[in-house]
A = this chain, B = another copy of it.
Amino acid sequence: MIIGRSAVVGKEGAVKAVDPSRNEQIEPAFGLASTAELEKTCTLAEQAFDTYRETTPEQRAKFLETIADRIMDLGTTLIERAMQETGLPQARLEGERGRTCNQLRLFAKVVRDGRYLSATLDSALPDRAPAPRPDLRLRKIGLGPVAVFGASNFPLAFSVAGGDTASALAAGCPVVVKAHSAHLGTSELVAKAVQQAAIECDMPEGVFSMLIGAGQTIGQNLVAHPAIKAVGFTGSRAGGVALMKTAAARPEPIPVYAEMSSINPVFLLEGALTSNEKLAQQFADSATLGAGQFCTNPGLLIAIESPALDKFIAGAKEALAAKGAATMLTPGIHSAYNTGVAKLSKVEGVKLIGQGKTSEVPCGAVAGLYETSGENFLARPELEDEIFGPTSLLIRCRNEAELVAVAEHVEGQLTAAVHATGADIAVAKKLLPTLERKAGRILFNGFGTGVEVAHAMVHGGPFPSTSDSRSTSVGASAIDRFLRPVCYQDVPAELLPAALADGNPLAVPRVVNGELVLK
């Protein structure tokens, strides 16, 4: 474990990572954290907060960039260990490493740019009647130490130095990561890189730590600790809801940003079904990408009956049949996938359309596509349960009204996709207000897999896709999750933070007396 500037081997038992492609444990063993180690970690984070949040934008940006550099320095050691622990292929992991470093560098830019501060100034009006107006200045500061729970499906980009960590550090919040048990070695390598960067950049001890704990105890205790002021989590609905409950039950409740469960409805409108010959192949490619283990995997297809739909179904069957079984992240995920598929296949009114190749590897996921009627889907809430992996359900609707009813029926989603041509615009227009209420991202003529790290990205959405629809966990706005506003009224110039000082020494955009001023 990494606790501040120390490397610590926990003494509360030990665990090993598992190679899912062989279903065998990998060396070495990792020691588990005690309550005392948790306490020490949280105290260090708390003590670091005031110093860390007042580092200059340049210091914080440089720290983020140095983390990226130190991760790249890990070279093939990191990629090889991640391959072993996750069963993900080399190219995917190299791509993910690039994304991780790009995220860190994006947040360095966000910190230098200073828009996130929401600097706002209202001048004093000493002569105003009946009462003078004081001098008011607002900036945002970090919430405090943030607990980050890594995701199994993005061992780099949503784990130890992933989006949650990068955005929390950018916001000026110390971070305590709970390592995901599915990739402990990968986590240790990255945590050491972050620690190294913190030392090089002279950051306060406690700005970053990483704990290892078996089961849920350390995680729940971390969220319950008074020093922790916010939580970032990517994982299952059950896991996220458990953390939400713990956070809400604290003497001081804290925000939880849990990205959980989404089946990402894809609406296949008739024009697109008719004109896009590649649609079935595109669907099969998206559904099986990363063994279907993307948060934005297309779990639900919705279309109105037509000859074009029948053609799509035939094409999807053929495209899936060519897909080999890919190794899933862990034996547990693989087993849950098979249970989910078995349950779906037994629901009345659900029939199999087509499947991928049978598995020849221990944790191989066989892709599948099932179908049911709109009527049946609307009547059976269990058909909305997420199956984490490469299985999708097609809803065959009788007419446009039923298609819209299905859209209105689904729970909150990360993404909703519409495949449409000009001929479909009228139907798409009817769908749009519903999709805006249901999803964080609406996309046309594409699939949700592939989440761009950009300024305009939203990787979030209404419950249960996340615990907080007001936020995104990917993209520049992810920093907003870890900030709160503070107003300074008639504060003497020598005590004002630089972002609010006269003359705007940090050259940040500010709203002055209601008008946005760029510098």
The interface of chain A, by Cβ under 8 A from chain B, is 49-50, 54, 95, 109, 113, 115, 118, 120-122, 130-131, 133-134, 136-138, 141, 143-144, 244-245, 248, 252-253, 255, 411-412, 420, 425, 428-429, 432-433, 436-437, 439-446, 450, 452, 454-458, 460, 462-464, 467-472, 476-477, 483-492, 494-495, 509, 511, 513-514, 516, 518
A444 touches which of B121, B143, B245, B492 (Cβ 8 Å):
B492
For A245, A471, A489, which residue has the most chain B Cβ atoms within 10 angstroms? A489
Q: Report the separation of the CA atoms of residues A434 and B487 in the bound assembly, to the nearest whole angstrom.
A: 14
Return A431 CB to nearest CB of chain B, in Å. Answer: 10
Residues on B with beta carbons closer than 8 Å to the beta carbon of A439: 486
Closest 6 CB pairs of A and B: A443-B489, A458-B487, A136-B456, A138-B456, A441-B487, A120-B456
Return A293 CB to nearest CB of chain B, in Å. Answer: 19
Q: Is the CB of A452 within 8 A of B122?
A: yes
Q: Is the CB of B516 within 8 A of A115?
A: yes
Q: Is the CB of B122 within 8 A of A446?
A: no
Tell me whether A134 and B446 are in contact in the complex, defined as CB-CB below 8 angstroms, given that A115-B516, A252-B463, A494-B425 are known contacts.
yes
Q: Report the separation of the CA atoms of residues A412 and B445 in the bound assembly, to the nearest whole angstrom.
A: 48
Tell me whether A472 and B444 are in contact in the complex, defined as CB-CB below 8 angstroms, given that A454-B122, A454-B136, A495-B428 are known contacts.
no
Q: Report the separation of the CA atoms of residues A441 and B122 in the bound assembly, to the nearest whole angstrom.
A: 14
Q: Is the CB of B484 within 8 A of A470?
A: yes
For A118, A463, A470, A491, which residue has the most chain B Cβ atoms within 10 angstroms? A470
Q: Report the separation of the CA atoms of residues A476 and B514 in the bound assembly, to the nearest whole angstrom.
A: 9
Nearest to A476 among chain B residues (CB) is B514
Q: Is the CB of A454 within 8 A of B485?
A: no
Residues on B with beta carbons closer than 8 Å to the beta carbon of A455: 120, 122, 136, 138, 511, 513-514
Tell me whether A490 and B446 are in contact in the complex, defined as CB-CB below 8 angstroms, given that A455-B513, A484-B470, A516-B115 are known contacts.
yes
Residues on B with beta carbons closer than 8 Å to the beta carbon of A492: 420, 425, 428, 444
Q: Is the CB of B412 within 8 A of A252?
A: yes
Q: Report the separation of the CA atoms of residues A146 and B457 in the bound assembly, to the nearest whole angstrom.
A: 26
Q: Report the separation of the CA atoms of residues A491 and B49 in the bound assembly, to the nearest whole angstrom.
A: 42
23 CB contacts below 8 A, A to B, read A50-B433, A54-B433, A120-B455, A134-B446, A136-B455, A136-B456, A137-B456, A138-B457, A138-B458, A143-B469, A440-B484, A441-B488, A442-B487, A442-B489, A443-B489, A444-B489, A444-B492, A470-B484, A470-B485, A472-B487, A509-B516, A516-B518, A518-B518
Q: Report the separation of the CA atoms of residues A467 and B250 in the bound assembly, to the nearest whole angstrom.
A: 12
Nearest to A442 among chain B residues (CB) is B488
For A121, A429, A511, which residue has the most chain B Cβ atoms within 10 angstroms? A511
Q: Is the CB of B460 within 8 A of A485?
A: yes
A486 touches which of B134, B441, B454, B485 (Cβ 8 Å):
B441
Return A56 CB to nearest CB of chain B, in Å. Answer: 16
Return A157 CB to nearest CB of chain B, in Å. Answer: 15
